[in-house]
Structure 1
Amino acid sequence: MKWHVVCKQFSNFTVISKYSFPFSVAAKMNRGRIISLHPECVDVNEPRSDGFVSKLAEAVSSLKAGNVIALPTDTIYGIAGLAQNSEAVNQIYHIKNRDLSNPIAVCVGRIQDVYKWSKVTISESLLSELLPGPVTVVLRRGEELNPDLNPGVSLVGIRIPDHTFVRACALSCNEPLVLTSANLSTTPSTVAIQEFQHLWPKLDLIFDGGTLPKTEKQRLGSTVVDLSVPGKYRVIRKGSAYENTMNKLMHHKLEEIVTEQNSR
């Protein structure tokens, strides 16, 4: 039986909204398949194009099957799986050889979803200034979030990349994606799929968006800031958007949480 996809338009995105998936063992035989997102193949800024829709359908089909995929973001290449799928979460830790005690962030497609999966302590105005963009906001986790994701950790990092394809994937899955850098833990982040070729056999699909900007700043990934305490902030990682993020936090009169580390 073939699976079918019914598409609808939502906030400038094509959202894959209905599935009939007879996922078989055969689906696992094409692991590491590369799908081009190059401009000549699909315009990622035109989500209503046939090319975009077909490639989005492949990504969502794979994610819904519990697989892990690689895709470009607005900073570096990342690997993603469904955050509500414990097997997918475990796969990502295994693929990256990541310490299980090291929390992992999630990605959503729109501001409203941040409220669903976390407890927001800042104004919607500030949240909308920070996201979408190269910023991960750390908030208290919501009750609906998978308990196997960062067990025992009361906070969760949430990101909305400023990248049409990634956001459309999250929207179409209608749940958060675990999204982390496409590299082994403690090794440099990647800006081209060839840089993580050693991971290809462990991934179901690799979406090739070409070489991303190669600046050292870009390779820093997103700026990570803890906003779980009302009126306060704490920078966890400076990342690629540090100065811009600090300007926005100060404009909204948030105060930095002073710790022994950042007071030196």
Structure 2
Amino acid sequence: MNAHEKFRENLPFYVTGALDANERRALEDHLQTCAECQVDLALWRNTAQEVTEQSASLRVSDRVIESALGQIRAEQRQPGALRRAVDLLLSQIPLVRHEIWPASALIFLIGYSAAVLVKMEFLIQLIAPMVAAWGIASLYGPENDQAFELAAATPTHQAQILLARLAAVFGYNLALAVTVSLAATPFIPTLSLSGLILSWLAPMTFLAALALLLSLWMSTGSAVVIPYLLWLGKFILGNMLVGESSGPVFVGSAAEGITLFIRFWENPLLLFGLAAVLLAGALLSLRWPDRRLPRLV
């Protein structure tokens, strides 16, 4: 490459001011005697001017840039999934029917007092699932939430709202049931804490899930009555089978069916599995806003 070609290559750098002092001085000396490079220099200067003018017309305003940067910073400051879940849970607790909290505690207190007084732990087994079913049946829907339409219009998905309320109410009832069971153990000599908890935990979970699904498809009243009848039936029919020493109350297929019904409540894995299926069904049913079955009550 000869000196002339080297100077021609440096012309765009000269226009943009990218050459050092020595290169700039040498190029300027060459331009005084080279007409061809003078023409090229004029072309490069025109090109640089056009680029500058176009860049100025396309320049984004400072306000737009600041707005974009602010949005990026806000996204970076967004809380994690756990924090969002906790915030949603805390925001939904005040929207649950207020009477659920004191009423549940009062019923557990009465059941505990009666169980300790008469030394009959089955009273705790009886009330724990029933209280949970009532609370869960009353936590969602236009019957139970005066701001239901407003909540349904928020960006938060209905399933997330439902799960947050479910976690709050079921967790509260679970804590009450465990506390009552723990407090009753010292006063009932034949009572095992683990045995007592296992006797109501799986039925409580199943009946709560059933009540939730029924509350979405039927009504709050139906969602309370049906689980209550099923759970009370377990105790009534079970006592009738135990009392058959004076003579059989049920025979044949009726006795077999009732025996299977009693064993159903004594199978924790089955109850937990069905509870998961019912919960999934409840969440899926939110996709059909016009869902309704005939209500019993």
Same fold (TM over 0.5): no
TM-score grouping bracket, smaller chain normalisation: under 0.3
* TM-score of the superposed pair, with normalisation by structure 1: 0.25
* TM-score of the superposed pair, with normalisation by structure 2: 0.23
Computing the radius of gyration from Cα coordinates, the structure with the larger value is 2
Structure in which a larger fraction of residues adopt helix: 2
Structure in which a larger fraction of residues adopt strand: 1
The structure showing larger relative contact order (alpha-carbon pairs under 8 Å, at least 6 residues apart) is 1
